[in-house]
Structure 1
Amino acid sequence: MTDNVRSDRTPELEADLPSLMKKVAEGDQEAFTGVFQAVSDPVFGMVSRVLRDRAMSEEVAQEVLVEVWRTAPRYDPGRGSVFAWVLTMAHRRAVDRVRSEQAASSREARVALLDRETEFDQVVEEVEARFEREAVRSCLRGLSELQRQSVTLAYYRGLTYREVAERLAQPLGTIKSRLRDGLMKLRDCLGVTA
């Protein structure tokens, strides 16, 4: 904060802020004007120190002041002064913005790297996927009828075990056993190691 901002914080003003906040919590716009005048410069100063970008600091400071208006009923004078509450809110919002900007920058960097990677051969991918599908179909043919139906309904149609049991008119325990046995046979057939 600059020295002139600190000099604006008089003991009288700080003493009056809790009563103003109480009125703001009740929707008093005039009281909010008083709170705004008292805290806007310190909020901007706090946010500016964290963000180091004037335009972004102005935007975040405005967001904080809107949040003060919206959340005024949550202010608890027993937990600290109005200044402490508002400046904590400002600091958190500024840090969130920094993190958000860093995350966006990281995403953009990852996308740029992906754009530079060599294109995969789509024909090879399609052929491999076709072979995999055929291998699964072949292994499914090696299951018992109840195992095949159970696995198909649960894993290809997305039904729950209970829904599979209802659809096949079998006890739930039987379906669970057939699914477990069928999946183990599939794993062995496909050569998947546990």
Structure 2
Amino acid sequence: MAASAVLMARIAQGDAAAFTQLARQLQAPALRLALRTLNDRAAAEDVVQIALTRLWTDAARFDPARGVLEGWFRRMVINLCLDRRRAIRAVLPIEDAHDLASAAPDPLAASIDNDQRSRLDAAMARLNPRQRIALVLFHGEGLTMAEIAGEMDTTPKAVEGLLGRARMELKMMLTESQTL
């Protein structure tokens, strides 16, 4: 039995030390995934907090025979991100209203990088949530199509289609934003 499955069994019995140990292992990757998916640090931290709370309360529901704990937890985070995206309308925080000057040695390059990142983030935020999740898992987390299909309850062929459509839409949105 994997070490994480052993920790889950201990958590199901109420072992707080096991929960702390497992939470430390899962928190950073979950936060990266949620942050890339939601594009909002506060919302991403909320999602991870909720997911960790569910990990504690639903520990007995985890079945190691059905898959690895990391995949189960990642799926929980993805579902919470999708729920969060459905529940709120996109509103930019006041902090994003303007960019402050960078202390980087090359202000022109930093400005170009910031503009590109900003346009990419805005385009990613406009994507269909399932397309965005597929992109994040493929390019950000490095998962294979088969792994993504398992995470998203679909087929590798469907993931390929999601990625293809997402890339085409991103290209179109980025081209449009350059001409504005």
TM-score if structure 2 supplies the norm length?
A: 0.48
Structure with a larger share of its residues in helix: 1
The structure having more radius of gyration, on CA atoms, is 1
Considering Cα pairs closer than 8 Å and 6+ residues apart, tell me whether 1 or 2 has the greater RCO.
2
TM-score if structure 1 supplies the norm length?
A: 0.45
